[in-house]
Amino acid sequence: MTTTISPDLLRKYDVPGPRYTSYPTADRFVEAFGPADYEQALAQRREGPAAMALPLSLYVHIPFCESLCYYCACNKIITKHHERAAPYLRYLTREVELHAEVLGTGQPVSQLHLGGGSPTFLTDDELRQLMAMLRRNFAIAPGAESSIEIDPRTVTTERLQFLYDLGFNRISYGVQDFDPDVQKAVHRVQPYEQVAALMEDARRIGFDSVNVDLIYGLPRQTPESFTRTLQQVSTLRPDRIALYAYAHLPERFKPQRRIIAAELPGAANKVSMLSQALAAFISAGYVYIGMDHFALPGDALAVAKRQGRLHRNFQGYSTQADCDLIGLGVSAIGKVGATYSQNAKTMDEYCDSLDQGRLPVVRGLALSRDDLARRAVIMALMCQGQVVFESIELAWLLDFKSYFAAEMEQMRQLQEQGMVVVDDEGIQVTAQGWFFVRAVAMQFDKYLQADRNRTRFSRII
């Protein structure tokens, strides 16, 4: 499958582009969408048929980290003062209570994710309080997919057991790279042996799935050093692997200014590292899920791909249906009905809104009919690798080839390049094209086609 993925082809498609965890993308959110609009979307869910029939997904953002990772572009607060977590949990509680006032309590939840920052910054008692508060206000289903991001430097065997007993069945270790020199360059030192022991502990305890995050394109990385990391990760055999390209945007993300630009690998080496990773993981038996995700054949994500049940949300690929997502905490993003919303990005603004009895939404978007139709096409490409014209036409009462005439011309060009196959029934992404599915989906992004200033996005590779 990788024989056609040459460095030349990877280099050709090394362009900036969205990750399409949503469409329209978050950079299109507007401040005209505020708390009242979000409350209206919540009320429509409560009054509509989705109220109890369609389960919710919950995302809780814990922004705290003890130390700064120089590559990080997440919304975080660097502090060693753990006492700062207690007031934050009180504000989270107030935010959940405001949701419950509109939605009512007992809304079913099939998916819960704690991200950050470092959720394991919280003490065991604080995590216990947080989970109890969520269960008071929502009906977290037995067997719900409950995941938490873990900084390996902040957990022990006993702590992993505690998280499992608390109800988490999926964990994600932030590894990035195992090379000591690279770890020093990004200020995140965690020996391979430490992560290997935690992987063994997680399996023994019984977590359903263990994910490992990796980044290529970091300072001091070379194709040779990254090959060693790939071999070590393959030896650990996590259930899932997320492989991200580092986007160096120091003008946007202050921590990245500590990275020495001259130490970053060049484009040719980045392409080489991606090519190596694709070959290494596929030869190790992993299924390429799409974009930058891999999973073992028996993992739920790989099963969902085989069965055509993949979905995408703001956390990436998901096995869950296209359910509403409630985002809780500083900077959290949610999706309710045909709307997107994002909370305040600073702690002061987040707390001020809640002190005034308002949900802390500061921007968002109400999707138009055109947005919804294009979202359906983009998500079909990103998740199923195909678009059936008739399904889009029936759902949105349009003639596909006429409505998307300009896009169809682009598809014909991509077909000549071996990326897609277009026939009378629809568009099928080829095995080769699946590695560049973002580039295919981008052709249906009306905002992106009208805006040639794409530097706000990471590169596809």
Residues annotated within the binding site are: 59, 65, 69, 71-73, 116, 149, 176, 188, 213, 247, 333
Positive/negative CA dihedral, 275, 276, 277, 278 = positive
Q: For residues 288 and 435, is the Cβ–Cβ distance under 8 A?
A: yes
> How crowded is the C-beta side of 405, counted as CA atoms within 13 Å?
2
Distance CA 68, CA 63 (A): 12
What residues form the annotated binding site for S-adenosyl-L-methionine?
59, 71-73, 116, 149, 176, 188, 213, 247, 333
The H or E element containing residue 227 is helix 223-236
- CA dist 70 → 66, 73, 141, 174, 182 (Å): 13, 9, 38, 14, 11
DSSP per-residue letters across 78-143:
E-S-GGGHHHHHHHHHHHHHHHHHHH-S-EEEEEEEEEES-GGGS-HHHHHHHHHHHHHHEEEEEE
- What's the burial of 361, exposed, middle or buried (CB within 10 Å: 0-12/13-18/19+)? buried
Q: Which of 440, 460, 458, 299 is nearest to 383 (CA)?
A: 440
What is the C-alpha end-to-end distance of the chain, expressed in Å? 18
What residues form the annotated binding site for [4Fe-4S] cluster?
65, 69, 72
Q: Which of 369, 347, 443 is nearest to 117 (CA)?
A: 347
